[in-house]
Amino acid sequence: MARVPVVVSVKWLAEALASDSQKIRVIDSSWHLPMAKRNARKEYYQQHIPGAVFFDLDDCCDKTTDIPHNLPLSVQFEQYVGNLGVSNEHHVVVYDNNKNFGIFSSQRLWWMFRAFGHDQVSVLDGGLPKWLEADYGWTDDKELEEPQIFKATLRPELVKNFNEVASNLVDKKFQLVDARSAGRFNGTAPEPRPDIKPGHIPGSLNIPFPSIMDPKTKTLKSAKEMTKVFMEAGVDLSQPIVGSCGSGVTACCIALAAFICGKEDVSIYDGAWVEWYLKAKPEQRIQVN
């Protein structure tokens, strides 16, 4: 199967759907922080790209833990996406609906598909807002796809857990890059979850996820521009990298940006700052006063 682009434009998607829609599965993977008071599923039913199905990050996840939307088991992912009409033969295009950033959560599902062995996945640059801006049309129809068989094979090298990140404080085997805002990272701005205080994991570096996007067009920067973002943050793209954030969603922006720059092996600390804050020793939670 031919390699697919990591990012596609709304023009590319419109033309692809017009020419051979059976090979493509479009998925709305919108998700919002609790403080946004938005219901992504409800918004999907009100307006989405024709043919798109909805993926709920808080539904297809590990429900045995209180850590938000951790990766589900392979069999759970298989069943969930299979019921959405996705097979291993499909080119999956993921998008979300956030006009403030262009992408906010779709990169999480992009990473999940890759973590479960499916490389035929692309992110729609600019998401639903850019699609609507180009006047390609939308629908509120409830999309019903025939269930498909999807086989998932976890790539453990793309996922890091608490113990591995804790060991890295001493071993320093990888660079930990946090995608939260500078305020949350430094401990000077509140976390969106009231029971979690801000700060960061010792030794981690900070690249706020909007840094990989053009603030005017709300689309992703070029590989050259992203390489500069990594360099200015002190991140060496030739060395191992692990992405983190609040709960593992915008952390995947680090993996996506690195992938665009040619580094395809960035893993994600799935539990992220929420898990670290709840499990780590107080001295392992850094705040800059």
- Active centre residues (catalytic): 245
Here the tokens at position 262 are 């040619």
| Among the listed residues 262, 225, 250, the one whose alpha carbon sits nearest the alpha carbon of residue 110 | 250
CA distance 6 to 117: 15
Query: What letters, b where the CB count within 10 A reaches 16 and e where it falls short, cover 189-223?
Result: eebebeebebbbbeebbbbbbbbbbeeeebbbbee
CA distance 157 to 76: 19
For tokens 């808080």, name the residue.
Answer: 58
CA distance 164 to 281: 15
Q: Which amino acid, 68?
A: P
CA distance 71 to 252: 13
**Which residues are CB-neighbours of 62 under 8 A, at least 6 positions away?**
70, 71, 72, 73
CA distance 172 to 165: 9
